[in-house]
Amino acid sequence: MTDTAADGALLRILRRLSDAGYDFVMPTLATHALVADRRPDALPGDLKDIFGWTRCFSATHIPVDLLADMRQADIVSEEGGQLRATLRVSLIEDRLHFHSANNRDDHAVFLGPDSYRFVRLLGALDGPAPQRAIDIGTGAGAGAMAVAARWPEAEVTGSDINPRALRLMSVNARHAGLSITSLESAGLDAVDGDFDLIVANPPFIAGQGGRVYRDGGGLNGAELAIDWVRAGIPRLSPGGRFVLYTGSPVVNGRNLVRDAVADFAGDLEMTWDELDPDIFGGLLRRDDYRDVERIAAVGLTLRRP
């Protein structure tokens, strides 16, 4: 991806935050909104207020060079005489990630608690190091960066249909000192060859048409995850693994993702774990979830013998 002055400014911001020991952990959007509203304005010079809680701040309460970098990167907006960051920065493990501050945008680059669960799932993988790996729907790059950090000799690609996501992923990876190829693609459509490791944390919310970071399609939001696994299986090399983190609806005691994948997994070895039995419970109030008992955060691994 082309290096620009704006990208250079983003990198300088990440270096400054890293040097300052910045450690913001992104909660759910509901928790973020609740906590951020307790105090609308940032404390002078508080970097977590500015880049984490994205509170309004005054130009006089931030170093001149830092504000200049924010302006050069075009990540600051003016609201009633005050300023607000339009990108957020969150820490996963020891890596900083730029991602969207406004998740109402249809093409927002999302990062949240699911990203932390996804990275934790990848950290628990055993077996041989992959030579070629891809993170489908990489977003801010949490999965791709976790793979590249654990296996620095691997050829790692992050794919996404959102060019904004690929730009931020590339900046995040450069700051972390990781080599990751960015690829604008829906799933695996634009990449050739087989992989030792395919990982994915797809959108899984039903009824979010147009919001690429949330729309999981039909089957109560499970359709996209199932489609990605189905498309990925033929691309696994011998011994290769597909690792999926997703939210799976449970209907009449049946886990829709697990049961659907089991139907076409063939001779692949399948392991399955409910990492959290009940997430996004508020969605069950909606008509498109009227048959769903709960949504489970799940980790699924398929391995070709």
Counted residue by residue, the chain has a size of 305
pLDDT of amino acid 211: 56
pLDDT of amino acid 187: 84
| Residues 148 and 45 placed together within one structural domain of the fold | no
Q: Please give the residue range of the domain that contains residue 163.
A: 105-303
pLDDT of amino acid 107: 84
CATH code (residue 181): 3.40.50.150
Backbone angles phi, psi at 248, to 5 degrees: -115, 125
Which residue carries 């590339």 as its tokens? Answer: 170
| Residues 72 and 190 placed together within one structural domain of the fold | no
Question: How many structural domains are present in the chain?
Answer: 2
- Would you give the DSSP letter of residue 45? T
Contact predicate 96/90, CB 8 Å: yes
pLDDT of amino acid 176: 98
The low-confidence residues of the chain, meaning pLDDT below 70, are: 1-3, 208-214
Contact predicate 140/98, CB 8 Å: yes
pLDDT of amino acid 189: 86
| Residues 84 and 193 placed together within one structural domain of the fold | no
| Residues 48 and 191 placed together within one structural domain of the fold | no
Q: What is the pTM of this model?
A: 0.94
